[in-house]
Each structure stands twice: as C-alpha cells, then as structure tokens.
Amino acid sequence: MEVRDKIYIDGAWVPSTGKGTLEVFDSNTEEVIGTIPEGTAEDADRAISAASAAFGEWSALSHEERSKLLARVAEGLAARTDEIAQTISQEVGMPLSLAKIVQVGLPTGVFADIAKKVTEFEWETELGNSLIVREPVGVVGAITPWNYPLYQISLKVAPALAAGCTVVLKPSEIAPLNAFALADIFHDIGFPAGVFNLVTGVGNVVGEAIASHPKVDMVSFTGSTRAGKRVMTLAAESVKKVALELGGKSANILLEDADIDAAIPGSLFACYINSGQTCSALTRLVVPRSKLAEIEEKAKAAAEGFVPGNSLEATTTLGPLASAVQRDRVRGYIEKGLSEGAKLVTGGTEPPEGLDKGYFVRPTVFSNVTRDMTIAQEEIFGPVLSILPYDTEEEAIAIANDSIYGLSGGVWSTDKAHAERVARRLRTGQVDINGGAFNAVAPFGGFKQSGVGRERGEFGLEEFLEYKSLQR
Ligand code: NDP
C-alpha cells in the first residue's frame, strides 16, 4: 500500500489545501494499492505561481545545462524500472513484461533522447534579413490520462522542460503513482524549485483550474475527445496555445493482395495491446468481402490465443482494464454491438472464465459490422475488434475515412507501393504498412477530432516553442 499525502510544489512536498484523498486500485484484484491527495483549484494556483516564478531562470539556463539534468531523469527512471512497471501493470492492466518495455522503457528513452536533441537542435536560423529564434512558450499545464501514464507524461514534460518551459502536471487519478515516482526523481536530482510541479486531483477541478488559469501559457492534454473539447474551450478565454492528443477509431485495411496469415496476428495485437486501451489501437479491420469467412476464422483463432489473466503473471497476454467504469463501458459497447446486429465471432459480455474478480473483459471479435453501427464509430477502449467487409478498394478507403477521428491506421498488401498509395489517402496522423515497426521519434498526433499538434522527437519539442523574428 503506497500512501502519498503530499503534492509537489516549488521544489517541496507540501500538503494539499483540501482534505480529500483518492484511492488507487489494482485492476487485477480490485484492491486498493495506494492513496493520493485530492488536490484543489487553490493547489493548482499555487503550483502555477511557482512555475511562473521559476520560468525566468530556467529558460535562461544553457541548453547544455538543461540537457544534463534531463539525462539524469532518464537515469533515475531506468534505476526504478521494475518497481514503476509493476505499479503501472497493476493500475492499468498491461502484462508486466510488456509494461517494463512500453510503460517505463519508452518514457525513459524519451528523457534520454530529448537530453541529446536539445544540444543538437537548431535554435536559431537566418532567413533573409531576419534571425529566427526559438523561445520557450512559458508555463505549461500538462493533463494526462491513465492508459500509458508515464509515457504520456514524458511526451509533455521532457520536451517542455527541454524547450525551457516550466511545468504543472495533473496526472490521471486512475494511474497516478508513477507521477509521484517521477517527482521524487526530479527532487533527488535537485531540479530548481518550481520548474516541475505535481498536483493530483480530479479533472473537472484541478484540470479545469489549469486549463483556465491566465498564467498558464500552454496546455497540453491527452485523453478523451469530450474532456479535450472542454480544455480547449476553457483555454480560449486567455488564448492559450493548446495541444490535444485525443481519441481514435483507427482502421486497418487488408487489401485484396494482403498476406492474411501474416496480417491477422499483427492486426489482433494492434487492436488488443494494453487490453485495447490505446488511442492508436487499430480497432476496425476492413477486409475484402470475398475473404470474410477465412478472415473471421483466423481472427477468432488469434483472439482466442490471447491468455487473459493477472497482469503480473508471466503467462498472461491480456490483462484487465484499468477501472470498473472502463470495464462496464466496454461491456456496454459489446451489448450495443449485439443489439445493433453485428455478428459475434468470439468473446462477449461475460468475464473470461475464472476471472470474476478484476476488471476483465473477454477478447472479442465482431464481424459484419457496418459503418453506421456504434461499434464502428465510437472509441471502445477495450479488447474489441470490429470487422467491416468491403467490395471495392474505393469503398475500403471510404470506410476507413468515415470517422470523426483521424489518429492512426494500417494497410496490408504484398505490394508495398500499392499499400503506400492507399496509406496516403487515409486522413490520419500515422499509418502502419504491413505492421510497420513503432518509431519513437516520428511525429504522433491526429487529424480531425483526434487532436491538435504533434508529440515525439523534434516535432514534439517544437510544440513548446514560440518563433521570434529579429529583422536586421
Ligand atoms: P478523460 O479524458 O476524462 O481523462 C484524461 C485526463 O483528463 C485525466 O487526467 C482526467 O482527470 C482529465 N480530465 C477529465 N475531465 C477534465 C476536464 N473537464 N478538464 C480538464 N481535465 C479533465 O478520460 P477517461 O478517463 O474518462 O476515459 C474515457 C474515455 O476516453 C476512454 O474510454 C477512452 O475512450 C478515452 N481516452 C482516450 C485516451 C487517449 O489516449 N486518447 C486516454 C484516456 C481515455 P481524472 O483524473 O479526473 O480522470
């Protein structure tokens, strides 16, 4: 049981001005594994004032000095990999071995990479009679979700600090303990007071206080499209810069000439990773109608090959969902799929056998899904794949683009050039061709209602910069 009773403001662990606490649950057992302070708008205000006061000195440091400090954050995270991965695995439900790589390895890499990038980046360029200088945007409010909690924090905090900004972080109440570990690391390294601040609490109190605060220059948000719209509305009042990384309903097109045996296992993994709690999950499998029966059979076998279980057990390949709310929401979508007439290929609303406790959902596949069905349009955020058949390639592309979202996508074909032509026609921020490997520094973000702005690598750093032109 991890009891955290203080928040981190101005270089010190201090009590919240509120009296409330929030409980953190093990999604495998439904037991409480920690408590955190339920912060207040006043806490947010104190943290923002500290960040504002610290901005001048932090932004004036040399890139080399900031780089050295950020490299030490990577070292601090690497040293605590096992402990942090175990906590996130319990909070979120990702199998532990994968959590070590994805939930801790990736964010460690983000800090290490930005520490390097900050010294190589072209901070000033000449353009005619102008000198273009990049300057930090100012005080950044970072509001993050629970599905890849530390990674999403790192994608904001690391580039923001590298740019010379100061930060107030409000992590998700569902998976917050890693944020405390990160604050410990900042504290132990001896970051200047006020550069990094942590205020926990619920979104509609602390999150809204950050999004509406006049001293916050930029708010960077990852989460649901619903909350993202609210953040953008609040931020408009003081004309803040806003970066939003929101939901998705990404399509994965198997072209006529796709290698089905290669495509199906990869496609199921791309949908079920982290129990489907992934904004870029490929949740709509768009397939040639002529091959529907074969694909259904193979998808069923691949889905049933996943082993649901406690995320800390080595044999588990599909853990639980992060919360009871999330489990009930996903089961609700499965019910909706059934009532709207989709064909259930495997899975369903019952918990997996022997897993009545914990927030488990069966690996589920629907077929004969049509574009107008709820399960073809809304983000489910669980292990639920929808197969949509098509008759022509034009129709496949139209199905893929028939979404309010535009985050990710996939195309499978034995002819790579053919796959690339189709990929260029998808209105999404990224497309994986034949299961193309993850690239940690390629820009990540959405078209349409999947968001505004890009994260990762140099593109992510630029989000936290203003451009100033000096005419000479
Ligand atoms: P939210 O969008 O509510 O949560 C994300 C973050 O935003 C949390 O820190 C949350 O705080 C905060 N927040 C919530 N409301 C506000 C607000 N009004 N102003 C400012 N901040 C706010 O996601 P949920 O946890 O409710 O998940 C719901 C659905 O959202 C999921 O089923 C999934 O479809 C989608 N989602 C998408 C994600 C993505 O990566 N694109 C990530 C997470 C969810 P709090 O601590 O109170 O939750």
Catalytic residue among 208, 279, 296, 455: 279
The predicted pLDDT at position 179 comes to 98
- Are 289 and 315 members of one domain? yes
Residue 402 lies in a domain: yes
Q: For the CA atoms of 96, 98, 103, 106, what is the dihedral angle to 10 degrees?
A: 150
Cα–Cα distance measured from residue 423 to residue 16, given in angstroms and rounded to the nearest whole number: 49
- Output the CA torsion 212→218→219→222 (10° steps): 160
Q: Are residues 235 and 258 in the same domain?
A: no
- Structure-block tokens of residue 43: 């806490």
What's residue 75's pLDDT? Answer: 98
As a whole number, mean pLDDT of residues 353-375 equals: 97
pLDDT digits (tens, 9 = 90+) for 434-443: 999 999 999 9
> Domain check: are 184 and 308 in the same one?
no
Q: How far apart are CA 380 and CA 284, in angstroms?
A: 11
**Mean pLDDT computed over every residue of the chain:** 98
Specify if 206 maps to a domain.
yes
Using the mean position of ligand 1's atoms as its centre, give its distance from the Cα of residue 143 in Å.
Answer: 9
Q: Is 176 in the pocket of ligand 1 (CB under 6 A)?
A: no
Taken in order 51, 52, 57, 61, is the CA torsion positive or negative?
positive
**Active-site residue, 120 included:** no
| CB-based contact 339:349 (threshold 8 Å) | no
Q: Is residue 374 located within the same domain as residue 463?
A: no
User: Has residue 227 been placed in a domain?
Assistant: yes
Q: How is residue 45 written in tokens? A: 């205000």
Q: What integer pLDDT is reported at residue 156 of this predicted model?
A: 98
User: What φ, ψ does residue 448 adopt, rounded to 5°?
Assistant: 50, -140
Which residues face 433 on adjacent strands? 411
- For ligand 1, pick from 172, 178, 240, 242 the residue to mutate: most ligand atoms within 8 Å of CB: 172
Q: Which amino acid is located at 187 in the chain? A: H
Which residue range forms the structural domain that includes residue 374?
250-440
Which neighbouring-strand residues pair with 125? 132
Supply the DSSP string of 114-170, one letter for each residue.
HHHHHHHS--EEEETTEEEEEEE--EEEEE--SSSHHHHHHHHHHHHHHHT-EEEEE
The whole-number average pLDDT for the span 161-179 is 98
| One domain for residues 99 and 84 | yes
Please tell me whether residues 463 and 431 are part of one structural domain: no
Q: What burial class does residue 388 get, using C-beta atoms within 10 Å of its C-beta: 0-12 exposed, 13-18 middle, 19+ buried?
A: buried
Which residues have a Cβ under 8 Å from the Cβ of 287 and sit 6 or more positions away? 254, 295, 387, 388, 389, 390
pLDDT of residue 203: 98
Please state, as a whole number, how many other Cβ atoms lie within 10 Å of the Cβ of residue 167.
27
Total Cβ atoms within 10 A of residue 290:
11
Residues 198 and 267 in one domain: no
Report if residue 307 sits inside a domain: yes
Residue 234's pLDDT is what? 98
Q: What is the mean pLDDT of residues 319-337?
A: 98
Whichever domain contains 60, its CATH number is 3.40.605.10
Compute the 3-state secondary structure of the chain and give helix, strand, coil in percent, each to the nearest 5.
Answer: 45, 20, 35
Q: 135 and 25 in one domain?
A: yes
Return the residue whose CA atom lies nearest to atom 32 of ligand 1: 381
Q: How confident is the model at residue 395 (pLDDT cuts 50, 70, 90)?
A: very high
pTM score, whole prediction? 0.98
> Given this model, what pLDDT does residue 322 score?
98
Q: How confident is the model at residue 195 (pLDDT cuts 50, 70, 90)?
A: very high
H/E segment holding residue 245 = strand 241-245
**391 is a domain residue:** yes
What was the pLDDT predicted at 458? Answer: 95
Cβ proximity of 178 and 159 under 8 Å: no
Q: Tell me: do 21 and 146 sit in the same domain.
A: yes
Residue identified by tokens 């076998």 is 301
DSSP 202: -
pLDDT at 384: 98
Q: Sorting pLDDT into bands at 50, 70 and 90, what band is 15?
A: very high
Q: Identify whether the C-beta of residue 193 lies closer than 8 Å to the C-beta of residue 49.
A: no
- Which backbone phi and psi does 104 adopt, to 5 degrees? -120, -40
Same domain membership, residue 287 and residue 143: no
* DSSP annotation string for 312-336: TSTT-SB---S-HHHHHHHHHHHHH
Regarding the beta carbon of 227 and ligand 1, being less than 6 Å apart is answered yes
- Calculate how far, in angstroms, residue 202's C-alpha sits from the geometric centre of ligand 1: 10
How many domains does the chain fold into? 2
Pairing of strands 447-448, 405-406: antiparallel
CA angle 34, 37, 39 (to 5 degrees): 150
Q: Are residues 239 and 293 in the same domain?
A: no
Q: Is 172 in the pocket of ligand 1 (CB under 6 A)?
A: yes
In a domain, 445, yes or no: no
* pLDDT for position 356: 94
Write the secondary structure of 390-418 as one string of H (helix), E (strand) and C (coil). Answer: ECCHHHHHHHHHCCCEECCEEEECCCHHH
- Across the range 13-35, mean pLDDT stands at 98
CA distance 70 to 61: 13
Contact 455 CB / ligand 1 (< 6 Å): no
Quote the CA–CA distance of 448 and 450 in Å, as a whole number.
Answer: 6
Say which CATH number the domain at 421 has: 3.40.309.10
Q: Is 381 in the pocket of ligand 1 (CB under 6 A)?
A: yes
380 lines ligand 1 (CB under 6 A): no
Ligand 1 proximity of 95 Cβ (cutoff 6 Å): no
Q: Residue 221 — very low, low, confident or very high, per pLDDT cuts 50/70/90?
A: very high
Q: Is residue 99 part of a domain?
A: yes
Of 220, 105, 214, 78, nearest in space to 161 by CA:
220
List the catalytic residue out of 173, 208, 245, 463. Answer: 245
Q: Across the beta sheet with 343-346, what order do the strands follow?
A: 343-346, 364-367, 384-390, 282-288, 250-254, 409-412, 432-433
In a domain, 465, yes or no: yes
Question: Within this chain, do residues 100 and 63 fall inside the same structural domain, yes or no?
Answer: yes
Q: Whose CA is nearest to atom 29 of ligand 1?
A: 224
SS3 (DSSP) at 345: strand
Is position 271 annotated as part of the catalytic site? Answer: no
| Cα 443 from Cα 460, distance rounded (Å) | 7
